[in-house]
Structure 1
Amino acid sequence: MEQSGTSTLLKGAVQDLAAGVASALRSGGHGPAGDLPSAAFAADGLAPAAVRVLGADYVLPHVLLGTRPDPAELALLRRAVETYPPRADAAPTVAWSHWAMTRALRRLAPGEAVPAPEPAADWLDTADWRTLTHQLAILAPLALPGEDSAVGRAARHRPVDVARGFVRAVRRRDWAQAAGAARWLTVLDGVPDTLGLDTGLDFVELMGGGDPLVDLQVRAARHLRVGALV
């Protein structure tokens, strides 16, 4: 029961953080530090855990809008990176998510994190288009223009497959996967014009926007779509 309660609290904390990020992207303001839950949330240790789940997108407003992170935000991101390193047997998406967080920390606070080698990404080269889209949606925080990574290179080689996966996710009403795939499609060349990505984003926002995690990815995709990366 206690574990179930903690899981519920963590899920709510992640959604709160995602809502703060989405709000900052929508308003063009600063990052979500002011929207962090109460002090009890931090005292229980849920804050770094929630940031670890949300990943590098915790500081996405600063990356996209060029704003300066609050020291508390950087401290929390650093704590999440240090507290939850991937285990040796971690899934590739977990390793890559942690790598993206260390990269974000280095970008926003040079010298704050030791550069880490990229995890392996050869598993994406042989993934079918369904698996590729699923994995890329999980790793949506890596979808940034001008940022090179093995995951990004794998995605750039298969824009049609990602587009196909986006359509499938919409048809299956998997709004989280559709939003993450759409974010990747905004930074890939060679996406079929017939896809109608802008219309697709409108539909995903309408149908799945009640989920803060979906809203975050839709907002990020819109910013990337208009070249808002600073």
Structure 2
Amino acid sequence: MDQTHASSPLAGAVHDLATEVVLALRSGDHLATVCGAAGIDEENRTGIAAVRVIGADLLLPSVLYGRHPHPGDVAVLDRAVREFPPKPDAPAATAWSHWHMISTLQRMAPPAPGAAAPGTYAEPDAAWLEEAPWQAFTHQLSVLAPLAVPATPSAVQRAAANRAVDLSRGFVRAVRRRDWLQAAGAGRWLAAIGGEPATLGLDRGLDFVELMGGHDPRVTLHVRAARLMAEARAR
């Protein structure tokens, strides 16, 4: 673990997980285990909590490259879903993250016949996003950046597509405020949905975000995901 970035055991575990996801995105190696490389298994309580923070992005390399995820990563993500369900009064973003973790597991690694599956979890409400000011909208979408992946329709994705201009404004604002994680999350959404103004210069903007904020592997994760999705759309 890189202690220079670890203000707490949980922060260190999140840093290590995000770093391993980035390495897998760069290499395209779907056979490697993200959790194993980060020293996390199903019995590591701190590691399970870190997976809850990373969310479905744990399986992002498999999602973007269209390959089967490593069974060890599937097992840890499944454990995180079971161990950390959202409370009834949890923020909407937490509920959406949980829903996306379950839907990703069901899509990428459906349980074998007779095996127990995570409980069903209805798609949360997203009406609050439709009327949110563009600043708050960008903030919430950046928190929900793991949902910005291809072929996974949701109310959040539809809200993002309907407000691409607002999201573009939020991207610029985040860059100006040097909020690199928010900028990277907003940029990832724009790469996933398209529709941003041509004058935005998203590609160069993402380069700048990675240059300035790349010390945080979560920033690099979102930027790398954005580039892979943009490349796929261009093909």
* Residue in 1 that maps onto 2:69: 69
Q: How does 1:71-110 map to 2 (within 5 A)?
A: 71-110=71-110
- How far residue 44 of structure 1 moved from its aligned partner, in angstroms, is 4.6
Is 1:137 equivalent to 2:137 in the alignment? no
Highest relative contact order (Cα 8 Å, sep 6+), 1 or 2? Answer: 1
- How far residue 145 of structure 1 moved from its aligned partner, in angstroms, is 2.2
* Residue in 1 that maps onto 2:38: 36
Q: How does 1:145-224 map to 2 (within 5 A)?
A: 145-224=150-229
Q: TM-score, normalized by length of structure 2? A: 0.89
Share of identical aligned residues, percent? 55
- How far residue 68 of structure 1 moved from its aligned partner, in angstroms, is 1.9
AA partner of residue 140 (structure 1): A
Q: Which moved more, 1:121-130 or 1:184-193?
A: 184-193
Query: Does structure 2 retain, via aligned residues, the 8 Å contact 1:103–1:115?
Result: no
The 2-side partners of 1:33 and 1:79 are apart by 12
Q: TM-score, normalized by length of structure 1? A: 0.91
**Alignment size in residue pairs:** 221
Q: What residue ranges of structure 1 are gaps of 5+ in the alignment?
A: 1-5
The 1-side partners of 2:43 and 2:110 are apart by 28
Distance 1:60 1:194, change over 3 A: same
Superposed CA deviations along residues 16-37 of structure 1, whole A, max 9, x for unmatched, are: 0000001100111125134122
The 2-side partners of 1:196 and 1:68 are apart by 34
- SS, match of residue 193 in structure 2: coil
- How far residue 190 of structure 1 moved from its aligned partner, in angstroms, is 2.1
